[in-house]
Each structure stands twice: as structure tokens, then as C-alpha cells.
Amino acid sequence: MTANNNNTDVVVLGAGIVGVSAALSARQRGLSVVLVDRREPGSETSYGNAGILSSGSIFPLNQPSLFGSLPKYLSNRHNALRWDVGWALRNPGWIARFLANSAQSQVKPRAVALQGLIKTSLKLHRDWIVQAGAGNRIRETGWLKAWRTDNISAAKADQAKLTEYGIKSELLDRQAISALEPNILPVYSVGLLHTETASVDSPGNVTKAYARMAVGSGVDLRQAEIKSIAADGDGWRVMLSDGEIKARHVVVALGPWSADLLRPLGYRVPLATERGYHREFTPNAARKLLRPIHDAENAFLMTPMEQGIRVTSGVELTDRDAPSSYEQLDAVVPLARSVAEFGEPVGEVWRGARPTLPDSLPMIGPAPRHKGLWLAFGNQHIGFTTGPATGEAIAAMIAGAPPGFDTAAFAPSRYI
């Protein structure tokens, strides 16, 4: 079937990693697909992330240990979390639900659900990245979490939690860290290497490569502002800045912008934005970083990217479009310099927003009160990892086929 802008099977809204994956998967199932974004594919959150394809991120931030960390976060000076008081006062319900999901009883069901999603997604990434001609961008060198203090008990506790779910990791001492990353300075006493985790050197370009593969398979990519959507007979009408598209199915994959489009349909989605920043720096070619490093005590990440060393900040809880505040990033750049040698900044500071629901699980499935409306967003800190399986599951549901993993925990009806 060929795509026809006036009457297509599926229109996917948003060409981040989730939307591109949904479009590609739907096309692979023989459906005609239009993919719409106001920017080039992979230009927003799917561009600026840390590029980690994480096998072990099955424990969201809201877990029991969060309660112990709250006192230090209340001061609003910790690198891991800054929060805007005005935002907190306007969103007490989201905060209360987020905290309620930190209870011990919520750990296992969410870890099991996320592990199914992550496993399926990593397999898709490893297949697609080769098929898309971008196999040179993936590194199978793991991800190192490292502690400057001799906090062996924290590393062991992390490892025990991963082992419980069959996720492999290796405990490292100072010498083993130096052997693994010979070009960093010896600031870390203890490390935990997530051996089954991969990373890429440009998440934006990987998303673009998947988009090119989707277009090559017949997806019609359109660049336009999406204004609104409306039910139309047994299908949908999507109003764009330059016209409209009719489709039997609409997939909302607008990342942190997803809730806006759904509000006029009566859906109040409790989607918060955990903002984050990055800045890249020219690498020292003679002192290469070989994998992403997570500085455990100082709450920042450093990833070797195509254009340089990308330093990524922790969470800033505030409105999606509030003015930028660079304090959190400024605080960690000198700390990153104490680990790796790198030069001048490359380009400007980037800001993005991790789209997060109160249980830190994405919405993957049908909108409860509208036939043919599919929701695929809320992938929080691990959306680059989980985008492919999120999109593939939606495509399977549209085609009436079983998704490759258990999607029950991700049903949109749990919140709307």
C-alpha cells in the first residue's frame, strides 16, 4: 500500500526516536504511514540525550532510596535534582503520586515491566542500527558508574539489585577502572561496569538513520507544525500548519509535548518534564574516553560523542518551557574536567525535557475513549533506549498483533 496524504492508514505525530520507530514498524507491517514533525527527525530530546542504551535502567528514580535522599534534595543545591518552588506548588498531585510510586511494593512490578520493554528494545536497536547503515555508531563497551569515595557497599548494593533480575555487571577497584579507562585521571575508588549496556556516538544521527530507513521503506515524512487532531467518521483528521491529513489511526509520539495535543480531547495527562542540559567539549585525541561514565556522587554523565565529550546534567523539575538555568550544568563541568581531559566548548548549551508520568512508566497503547488514537510517550530517562520497542508495540497493536513484550503496565487507561 502506498501512503496518500489524504487518506493514510497511520499518521505518526512526532519524529523523535519513539515516533520514527512507530512509523518504521507500522510500515514494516504493510501499513501506509505519514510521519510528521516540525523539525528534522531526532532534533529534540532524542538528539540531546546521553546516548546510553541501558540494559540496567529498570529501577526508575522514584524508588525507596528516594526517601533517604529527600533531605539533601530539599536544599535545592544538589546536582542530581533542582526543583522550582512555583512548579512544586502548582503540581502537588504529580509530586504526591510520584512519591507514592517510590514505595517498596512498587519496585518489582515496574522493574519487571521495564525489563521486558528494554530487552525488546535493545534487540531492535542492535538490528536496526546495522540495517540503517549506522552500525559504526554503536559501542558495546558498557557503561561505568563510579564512586570517588570508597563506597563499595553502594556499588555492591547496585550490583545485587541488578543480579536479582539477571542483569550482568562487574565490580571494579581503582586499578581495574584504570585498566578499563586508561585515559581518565584516577579519581574513582570504586566502579560498577554495566557490561550489557551499549552507547552511541550521536543519538540524533541514529534517529535520523532510522528515519531514512523508514522513508526508504515507503514512509512519507512531512515537516509541518501539528496544530490539532479531531475524530472524523471512523478515522482522524490531523490539522497541520500547511494542510491536513486524514488517517484511520493517529499515533501521538510528541515526547514532552504530547499532553498539549490531547487536552482538547478531554485527556488530562499527568506528564511532567524532568529537564536536563548538556554541553559538548573538544576531546583530547590522545586521551580518549571509551564509554559513558556516570559520576555517582556528583550526579552527572560524560559520554564520548561524535562532536566531543558530552557532559549531561541531572534533573531540573520545572515547567517545560521555563527559562533555562545553567547552575546545575555549570556546577558539574569542572567536576567532569577532574576526570577527563577535554578542551573548549563545542556549540551552545542544549536543554531538553525527559517526559515523565508519576509511575515513571511510559504510556503505550490505545487512548481509552477514542478508537484509532494511540499513545506512545512518557519514556522518561530511558526513552532513547526504549523508543524502538515502544514504537514497535504500537504498530503491532494497530495491526491487531501481539506486541513483543507485556504492555499491561503501560496502558494509558491507568491515568486517563
Ligand X SMILES: Cc1cc2nc3c(=O)[nH]c(=O)nc-3n(C[C@H](O)[C@H](O)[C@H](O)COP(=O)(O)OP(=O)(O)OC[C@H]3O[C@@H](n4cnc5c(N)ncnc54)[C@H](O)[C@@H]3O)c2cc1C
110 binds ligand X (CB under 6 A): no
Give CA–CA dist 399/186, Å, rounded: 53
194 binds ligand X (CB under 6 A): no
15 binds ligand X (CB under 6 A): yes
In angstroms, how far is CA 61 from the centroid of its own chain? Answer: 13
Q: Which stretch binds ligand X (CB under 6 A): 79-87, 107-115, 263-271, 373-381?
A: 373-381
101 binds ligand X (CB under 6 A): no
Q: From the list 28, 29, 38, 325, which residue makes contact with ligand X (rule: CB under 6 A)?
A: 38
Cβ 105 to ligand X shortest distance, Å: 26
Taking the least distance from each CB to ligand X, the nearer of 68 and 353 is: 353
257 binds ligand X (CB under 6 A): yes
Taking the least distance from each CB to ligand X, the nearer of 52 and 107 is: 52
Give the residue from 349, 410, 383 showing the smallest Cα distance to 16. 383
Give CA–CA dist 309/24, Å, rounded: 30
Give the count of residues interacting with ligand X (CB under 6 A): 39
Looking only at the bridges linking them, the beta strands covering 52-53 and 272-283 are unpaired
Per DSSP, the residues of 272-334 read EEEEEEEEEEEE-TTS---S-EEETTTTEEEEEETTEEEEE--EEES-TTSPP--HHHHHHHH
221 binds ligand X (CB under 6 A): no
Taking the least distance from each CB to ligand X, the nearer of 115 and 312 is: 312
Taking the least distance from each CB to ligand X, the nearer of 17 and 167 is: 17
Is-contact 261 227, C-beta < 8 A? no
Cβ 289 to ligand X shortest distance, Å: 15
Q: From the list 3, 9, 12, 19, which residue makes contact with ligand X (rule: CB under 6 A)?
A: 19
Give CA–CA dist 238/250, Å, rounded: 8
CA-angle at 389, arms to 385 and 392, nearest 5°: 145
Per DSSP, the residues of 36-50 read EESSSTT-SHHHHS-
Give CA–CA dist 215/82, Å, rounded: 40
CA-angle at 257, arms to 255 and 260, nearest 5°: 135
383 binds ligand X (CB under 6 A): yes
43 binds ligand X (CB under 6 A): yes
In angstroms, how far is CA 161 from the centroid of its own chain? Answer: 22
Q: Which stretch binds ligand X (CB under 6 A): 67-75, 82-90, 97-105, 384-392?
A: 384-392
Q: Which stretch binds ligand X (CB under 6 A): 16-24, 262-270, 316-324, 339-347?
A: 16-24
254 binds ligand X (CB under 6 A): yes
55 binds ligand X (CB under 6 A): no
In angstroms, how far is CA 222 from the centroid of its own chain? Answer: 23
381 binds ligand X (CB under 6 A): yes
44 binds ligand X (CB under 6 A): yes
Taking the least distance from each CB to ligand X, the nearer of 19 and 412 is: 19
In angstroms, how far is CA 404 from the centroid of its own chain? Answer: 19
Q: From the list 129, 184, 221, 382, which residue makes contact with ligand X (rule: CB under 6 A)?
A: 382
Q: Which stretch binds ligand X (CB under 6 A): 24-32, 47-55, 131-139, 159-167?
A: 47-55
332 binds ligand X (CB under 6 A): no
208 binds ligand X (CB under 6 A): no
46 binds ligand X (CB under 6 A): yes
377 binds ligand X (CB under 6 A): yes
Give the residue from 315, 283, 287 showing the smallest Cα distance to 299. 315
- Render the burial of 379-390: b for 16+ CB within 10 Å, e for the rest: bbbbbbbbbbbb
Taking the least distance from each CB to ligand X, the nearer of 176 and 409 is: 409
50 binds ligand X (CB under 6 A): yes
Taking the least distance from each CB to ligand X, the nearer of 30 and 264 is: 264
18 binds ligand X (CB under 6 A): yes
Give the residue from 101, 94, 50, 82 showing the smallest Cα distance to 383. 50
Is-contact 11 274, C-beta < 8 A? no
Write out the residues near ligand X by the rule CB under 6 A. Answer: 14-19, 37-39, 43-46, 49-52, 54, 225-226, 253-257, 276, 278, 312, 352, 354, 377, 379-385, 387
